[in-house]
Every structure is written in C-alpha cells, then in structure tokens.
C-alpha cells in the first residue's frame, strides 16, 4: 500500500509533535506547519492526501481562513480535512455560517482536542478510503 501523506497545521508545537509521532508509527508520511501561511505553502508544495488543522491558531477562526484560501482552487475541494478544536460540536453546527460555500468541502470532520489516537486514526482511515 502506498504511504499516505498528511499535513498537520497547528500552532501548538507539542500537539504537532505528538500527532506526528503517532501517525509516523502507523507508517504515514507526516509534515507539519505552525502558521496559516506556512500551512498553505506546504499544502501547495506537498499535495497531501489529507489535512489536519486547528481552527483557533493566530486568530480565533484561523483554520477557517485556510479553508477560505483553498476554496478558489478546485484541486482542494475534495481534500479530506480534519478540523481540531476544543468545541467540535459547536464548530460543526456553525460550519456553514463560518465559511461561504461550505459544501465545496464535503470531506470535513470535526474532532475535539485532545483527540484520542485511535479516534484520529479511525477518522483518517475513513476519509482516505
């Protein structure tokens, strides 16, 4: 099976490191970024199979800023995305109002932080099928 490439964007470097270790132990090629700009640059240069990102980074809804930046590029509309947040249920409910044309991103899953490794890996496997 081909090794999957995942990009993780989060300003919490401890979380980045722990998720990277967990996923690399499961034979996944992991790349990390700690800012929106760095994440967007890596996303375009790496073409990952999946994006994991925090919602609240430099500003309260910075993660949605990444989605808004991607929506103009049809290449990313089917990119599976896992949004990490401390308030996943509320974010999922408000997703359509937080980003215009939310249906452009049909493969978005919201998970609560801290995420359990098995839950994260299950979602990754589901999204990458």
Q: Does the pLDDT value for residue 102 go beyond 90? A: no
| Residue range(s) defining the domain that contains residue 77 | 5-127
Percent of the chain with pLDDT strictly greater than 70: 77
Q: Does the pLDDT value for residue 109 go beyond 70? A: yes
Looking at residue 23, its pLDDT comes to: 95
Decide: 86 and 113 in contact? Cβ < 8 Å: yes
Looking at residue 76, its pLDDT comes to: 83
What mean pLDDT is reported for the chain?
A: 82
Count the domains in the chain. Answer: 1
Distance CA 113, CA 53 (A): 11
**CATH number, residue 29:** 3.40.50.2300
Distance CA 46, CA 52 (A): 14
């Amino acid at each position: 099976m081909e090794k999957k490439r995942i990009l993780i964007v989060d300003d919490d470097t401890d979380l980045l490191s722990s998720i990277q270790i967990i996923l690399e132990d499961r034979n996944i090629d992991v790349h990390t970024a700690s800012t929106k700009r760095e994440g967007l640059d890596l996303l375009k240069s790496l073409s990952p199979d999946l994006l994991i990102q925090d919602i609240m980074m430099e500003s309260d809804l910075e993660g949605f800023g990444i989605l808004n930046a991607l929506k103009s590029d049809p290449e990313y509309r089917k990119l599976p995305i896992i949004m990490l947040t401390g308030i996943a249920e509320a974010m999922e409910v408000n997703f359509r109002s937080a980003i215009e044309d939310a249906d452009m991103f049909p493969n978005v899953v919201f998970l609560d932080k801290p995420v359990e490794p098995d839950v994260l890996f299950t979602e990754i496997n589901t999204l990458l099928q």
